[in-house]
Structures are given as structure tokens and as C-alpha cells.
Amino acid sequence: MLKLSEAVRRNPEVCKIIPPLSHGIKGIDIIRGQSEQLYLIGLLAARLPVLTNAEEKSWFEKLRLWLLVHAYERASNGILLDENLRILCTDLRLAHDSGDSWLALFRRLRVDALGFQGMDYGLMHRASRLLSNKKSEYQLSASEVAALKALERLVKREVAELRVTSQLPPRLYTGGMPNILARPFELDDELFEEADLEDNSARYVEITGAEPDETVICAEVDPKETFARQALSGKTVFLSSAEENQFLPWSWKQCAGQEEHDVRAWVEKSLATQDAKTRLCAAILWVANATGRSVERALEFRVGGRADSEWHLSEDFTQLVRLSPRPQQNSLSKEWESEWILPFAAEQAVRLPDQVGRVLYDVAASFVTIPTLGHLYDAVVGDKPRAVYADRLKEVSPRLNTTMFARSLPMRVFRESKDAILARVVASSPQTGRTGAMSYASWPIATLSRLLNPTQNESEAAGDDLNGMGSLIQIRDDKLREAFSVAAGRVDAAGKGDDFLRFCNFYVAYHVVGLLAYTGVRPVNDSFEQARHFDLEDGFAFVNDKVVDDEHEGRPVPVHRSLIEWAKDDYPRHLRLVASMLRHAAPGLAEAIEELAYAKKKGRLPFFFFLEQTEDGIQWASVSEQSIRELELFDWPLPLNFFRHRLATGLREIGADPEVIDSLLGHSEAGSATHGDLSWRVWQKDMQAVTPALDALFEQTGFRVLPGVELHPNLTRVLH
């Protein structure tokens, strides 16, 4: 195209010699007879669908550009033709050429992403949701399912050789399928725990690229506000610095220990003074300290009304109330709430001391309506808060300012719990930039009541069985045990049946889910990639389940002793028998499985794989969350990463070190990685300390190792 544009610039007569393609004809008429090879040209030359909505038109233009970039990426890696790309280009061209069903499908895939990687994330998520939603009124046809699966494979950088009936020109034949990346792209599920793209309900979505300047934060704003106010709220996202994440007691930007004590003493003394301005300033400072807010942000608290995501004062000035901070998990249905997850509290409350409540109530009594706490301050004090508090607190410490009080609550919580994630979530606001690590754990309402109301009696706190804050995905152990028991029964029944492939897939899926339950590894494709990644002597495995930046470079995770023995003896024996059974039906595959079983060399297959019957015979397939779900082995209506939620909460309840939990789950933030070159911690000692807690949690699931194909000789007869 560059050469063509240069030619036209030199000689405009070129356009007369080679006329531009007309939008008056369909794309198929332009590439007729060569549609299998020229699928990209057919798409780019096709006229856009007839749309009156400018946003929809823009969406279909973005889709074409997105596919063009993927085609360029493949071509730059020597892959000139790809089956996944051909399927999507062809189906999108059909949508352009008045294919109503295809038009409807691509409309449902629409995402408002701000870049190429954002399109990847969003489209992958949409496709996965459509494929997994079997109860939807919109039933997918076989060709639509194929298109969505091709989209998933395209985003993951999987390559499929072009299936064509015509002879390919020599320069388009690659002679084999090279890999695009050493490690295929994986969807970051944590992103969608905070932002459910299905209904755009999240206020903030952070998409982080490979470089720091590639981070994009999309903010929801109130359309009724002025543009200036919208721009301000859109830019106001609070991100923690590396220093703040360390919770250092001597950080300059917060009150030191003695200063905190002196500030509390000043508040108590000032609440009893006769000066109305001083009393109100003291009451507001108490509110800021108790909620983890600066004075300026505390002044924005509403008075009265229903609870929302930010604190507000009750109309009688007896307490502060807000909705419990939780990641956006809008896929939870009533079925989850009633059967699978533990009960949870909707709100949190901070009880105001009588003196604080009385001061605020007395000032408010002279007003008809009080929208915010700031209206009381403006009416009584009026001057800028920063200058007022600097003057009144200079006797305590001349360096104090109004923003330092935002660190009082998180520092106090950290001192009591040694849990940095808990401290950050307790003090979070609707504008806090949440990390993935903040999306998994939950804490009981009794813990929250004690931390937010340190002076209340133990008897006043609610019970520990109520989920007070954090992830809603906290599974009932009795339902989990039942699901594993049912799944084990299905594996056993498949072994007694007449479907060899079904049994093999059930057997592998059951044990891979067991590994996920113990380790909390992200359920990406082929989570446990190779046999050599297992240390069968010391009992751990190396996993690389999130490749997005230099902070995530894989990690070792301990593995339960029963699964280590299974991976050492039972599974290789199962593989050897499977290889012998497939020797005649699929000799090439049998040879690859045998290499894997005997660990002769670096295998051509991942350590765990599925078998499927295709037009070309029996082939292997990757183990993914989607493929496990399609087996219908487990009855739970859960994404497989719920095990990560379970470990994040369960290990805390048992008393495990929160930093070690972060290490197990692969959470690493700049400057605060648990194990690494700059950490004083020793991984082996930490894992030895946390293993008993891991074992206890795992054994509550009822998981047990199952026998392989060797105990089901009838399957051999069925296969032959």
C-alpha cells in the first residue's frame, strides 16, 4: 500500500490505469475464485454494512483494523496464511455483505476498548462469555461457535494451518506453522474481576501494557456534571506508590507514631472547647482519621440518603455508612447466592463517638438541608482547610498537613493485622486504583467491625460467618466436597463405559483441577506446561501463568504429596498405556505420548492434554478452562479461578502470612514482591511454614487421586 501511494503521488494517472475497487459490488465478487487465499483483501475491499448509527459504523471499521494488525503480526513472523484469521475475515465480510446473523454476532462482540491490546482483552472476554452461556435466548449456530473459537485462538496467538481445497502459490506456503510467541497470549482474568465488560458497571478499568506509558485508565463520570468536573473526576484515580505499599512507619507523608498520639489528644481536648470552629474542626478530623481520608475528601461526605460506595453520615449523626468495598463480580447469579457462596454483608458502619456526633448535630440543627459535611465547614469555618488545620495543629507538629490523615486508618490496620491488602481495601475509596491482589480475599464482618470501631466491645461485633468485605466468591466447603465427589464418580463411570477418549479427558481434567485447587495457579491454557517443570523429589512445580511484565516471570509453587506421587508414578503409567492403545489408531500421537511418559526428551506435548476425534483422526488438544467446562465433569457454576479466592481467604483465616499468600498466588507489585532478588525472605522456609495450612484447606475439598486406564481394561477392547 505504501508503494501504491508513492506511485500515485508520482503519477496520478495510475488511478485511471488501475481504478479503485468499487463499493457497489460485494467483497466476494472481488476475490471470487481466490477467496481461500485472499480473505484479508476481500474483507478490506468489502463495503461496510449499511448502518445509520455512527458508533456502530466505527465499531466495524475498528474490527477490520484489528484483524489487519493481527494479519501483519502473523506475516512479520513468517505466517502468511492462517485458518483462524481466514474464518474471522470471511465471517466479517459476510456481515458486511448483508449477512444479518453475522451482523448480529459481531454487534454482540462490541467493546469500547482504547487500543489493540484492549481489543484483544475485550473480544476474548466477550467470546468466552457467549460460548459459555448455554442458557442464553440467543442460540449460536455451529459456524458462529467456530468463529468465536477462532477469535479465542487468534487472541492467544495460536496458529492453525490453512485448510484450503485449492493449491497454494509457493511463496504463500510456509512449510509448517512457526510459533508467533515463545509463550502464547493469555487473558488476564483479574482484569474482568474488577470490570465486568458485559454491562460496563465498573467505575474504573485499568489496562496495563508492556511499558509504563501504555497504561490506560477508563473512568465513568456523571453525565449531569459540568465538563470540567467530569474531566477532574476522570483524572482522579488514586494509585499507591511503592513506598506506601511497604507501610513503613517512618514515611514522611504520614503522621509518625507520637504525632498520631498527639493528634488524638488534640481532638479530644478540642471537642470539649467552647470555640465552635475548633470543635467542628476536631470532629471533622476525627471523621478523616477514622475513614482513611484527607480532610478535604472527608468534607465531600454526604449527609443522609442511601448507602453507596463512599462513606456518608447518617441523618442523626450517629454513624458513617458505606457499601462494603468489593471487586466488580457481576456474573454472580441468584444461584450462586443461594447455593454456593457464603452469606455476605452489604454495608459497613463506623460508629461516631457521642461527642463527635453531638458537635456535628448541633451545627446542623440551624440548617434546613445539609448536602455534605463541607457545607457545615463552609458555614462555620469558611477558610481553606489546609491553612486552618496547619495553624491549629502547629502546637502538635508544624509539618502536619490535611493529606497525612488519609494514612492513619491503613497504617493502624496494618499494625494490627500485618496484612497490607486488608489495610488497603479497608481504606479504599471508589477512586482507588485496585490491583489484582486486592480482588481475591474476603474478611468476616467481625474483623471489619473491630478494625473500624476499635473501642466497641467484642460482644457488639457480628459473627465470623458473614463475609464483610472483599471478594464475593467464597465457596461453601460442603458444596465443594459434593462437587468433587460427583466428579470422581463420573470419572469412574466413564472408565466402565465404552468411550476411551471421554475417560482419558475426564481423568486428566479431574486431576488438573485438583492441582489448581491446591496451588491456586491461574487456569490459563496448559497451566502446568511440561513434565520437567515438576520437582518430584522436593514436591513443587514451576508455573508461568501470567506473562504481562517483568514483575511476572513465573514462580515455583508447592504441590500436595498425593499429587506429586500421582505425577511421578500413576500418570506416567497411564500415559504409557494410552500410547500403546493408540499405536495403531494414531501412531504419531502415540509416539509423542510415549516420549512424554518416559521423559526421553523435551516433549512435543504439554504435560497434560486432552484427546479429541477430528476429521484427521485422534489429535491432542490443550487443557483450558473452556475445554474443562465443556466436558461437564464438574457441576459448579464457577470460573476455575475461584480456587484463588478460596486460598486467599482460607489461608488468612488459618493464620498464614499474607505476604506468603501473595507469593503463592503470583501477585507482585513494584517494590513489594515477597520473594525476589531484593527480598530478605527465603522461599523454601516460607513454603515449609505455609504447607500445613495448604494441606488442611486442600483436604477439606474431598479430592482423592483416581486410578488411570490400567484399571479399566474394557476401554482397551472398545478402542480396538
Better pLDDT: 168 or 432: 432
> What are the contacts of 480-489 at 24+ separation with CB within 8 A?
480/636, 480/700, 480/701, 480/702, 481/700, 481/701, 481/702, 483/634, 483/635, 483/636, 484/634, 484/701, 484/702, 484/703, 485/702, 486/634, 486/635, 487/513, 487/633, 487/634, 487/635, 488/704, 488/706
Least confident of 19-23, 100-104, 372-376, 687-691: 19-23
Question: How many helices (H) and strands (E) in the chain?
Answer: 32, 13
Which pLDDT value is given to residue 412?
94
State yes or no: pLDDT of 496 exceeds 50.
yes
3-state secondary structure of 140: coil
With bands split at pLDDT 50, 70 and 90, how would you rate the model's confidence at 715?
Answer: low
Which pLDDT value is given to residue 99?
63
Report pLDDT digits (tens) over 145-165: 999 999 988 888 887 777 654
Please count the other Cβ atoms lying within 10 Å of the Cβ belonging to residue 437: 23
Task: Over range 82-87, report the average pLDDT.
Answer: 90
Q: Going by DSSP bridges, is the β-strand pair 555-558/610-614 parallel, antiparallel, or unpaired? A: unpaired
Letter string b/e over residues 100-121, b meaning 16 or more CB atoms within 10 A of that residue's CB:
eebbebbeebbbebeeebbbbb
Which pLDDT value is given to residue 702?
94
Report pLDDT digits (tens) over 335-380: 555 688 888 888 999 999 999 999 999 999 988 888 999 999 999 9
Report pLDDT digits (tens) over 249-278: 888 889 988 999 999 999 999 999 999 999
Percentage above 90 pLDDT, the chain: 40
Which pLDDT value is given to residue 601?
61
Task: Over range 179-183, report the average pLDDT.
Answer: 40
Which pLDDT value is given to residue 204?
37
Which pLDDT value is given to residue 138?
65
Residue with cell 456474573: 331
Strand partners, 217: 206
Which pLDDT value is given to residue 329?
57
Task: Over range 67-94, report the average pLDDT.
Answer: 88
Better pLDDT: 675 or 197: 675
With bands split at pLDDT 50, 70 and 90, how would you rate the model's confidence at 47?
Answer: confident
Residue with cell 494410552: 578
With bands split at pLDDT 50, 70 and 90, how would you rate the model's confidence at 212?
Answer: very low
In this structure, what C-alpha cell is assigned to residue 179? 510459533
3-state helix, strand, coil in the chain (%, to 5): 50, 10, 40
> What are the contacts of 280-284 at 24+ separation with CB within 8 A?
280/359, 280/360, 280/363, 280/376, 280/377, 280/380, 280/381, 281/381, 281/388, 281/389, 281/392, 282/359, 283/355, 283/356, 283/359, 283/360, 284/373, 284/377
CA-based torsion, 425, 431, 435, 440: positive or negative: positive
State yes or no: pLDDT of 207 exceeds 50.
no
State yes or no: pLDDT of 200 exceeds 60.
no
Any residues with CB less than 8 A from the CB of 273 and at least 6 apart, and which?
Answer: 279, 282
Q: Interhelix angle for 54-76 vs 100-108, to 10°?
A: 80
Rg (the chain; Cα; Å): 30
Task: Over range 634-657, report the average pLDDT.
Answer: 91
Which pLDDT value is given to residue 719?
52
What CA–CA distances, in Å, run from 262 to 269, 281, 395, 402, 667? 10, 15, 9, 15, 37
Residue with cell 498537613: 401
3-state secondary structure of 589: helix
Note the pTM of the prediction, 2 decimals: 0.70
The alpha carbon of 1 is separated from its chain's Cα centroid by a whole number of angstroms, namely 39
State yes or no: pLDDT of 217 exceeds 70.
no
Please count the other Cβ atoms lying within 10 Å of the Cβ belonging to residue 186: 22
Which pLDDT value is given to residue 547?
61
With bands split at pLDDT 50, 70 and 90, how would you rate the model's confidence at 295?
Answer: very high
State yes or no: pLDDT of 184 exceeds 90.
no
Report pLDDT digits (tens) over 322-336: 999 888 654 455 555
Residue with cell 515438576: 534
In this structure, what C-alpha cell is assigned to residue 617? 483422526
Task: Over range 689-705, report the average pLDDT.
Answer: 95
Which pLDDT value is given to residue 327?
82
Least confident of 68-72, 235-239, 423-427, 490-494: 235-239
With bands split at pLDDT 50, 70 and 90, how would you rate the model's confidence at 528?
Answer: confident
Contact criterion met (CB below 8 Å) for 26 and 46 = yes
Which pLDDT value is given to residue 220?
52
Which pLDDT value is given to residue 188?
40
Task: Over range 578-587, report the average pLDDT.
Answer: 89
Which pLDDT value is given to residue 391?
92
Task: Over range 297-325, report the average pLDDT.
Answer: 92
Task: Over range 234-241, report the average pLDDT.
Answer: 57
Dist. CA 511–CA 516, nearest whole Å: 9
Dist. CA 162–CA 165, nearest whole Å: 10
With bands split at pLDDT 50, 70 and 90, how would you rate the model's confidence at 477?
Answer: very high
Alpha helices in 109-162 (DSSP H): 116-132, 142-155
Dist. CA 711–CA 228, nearest whole Å: 71
Give the mean pLDDT of the chain. 81
- Alpha carbon dihedral 7, 11, 17, 21, in 10-degree steps, equals 50
Which pLDDT value is given to residue 201?
31
Task: Over range 190-205, report the average pLDDT.
Answer: 34
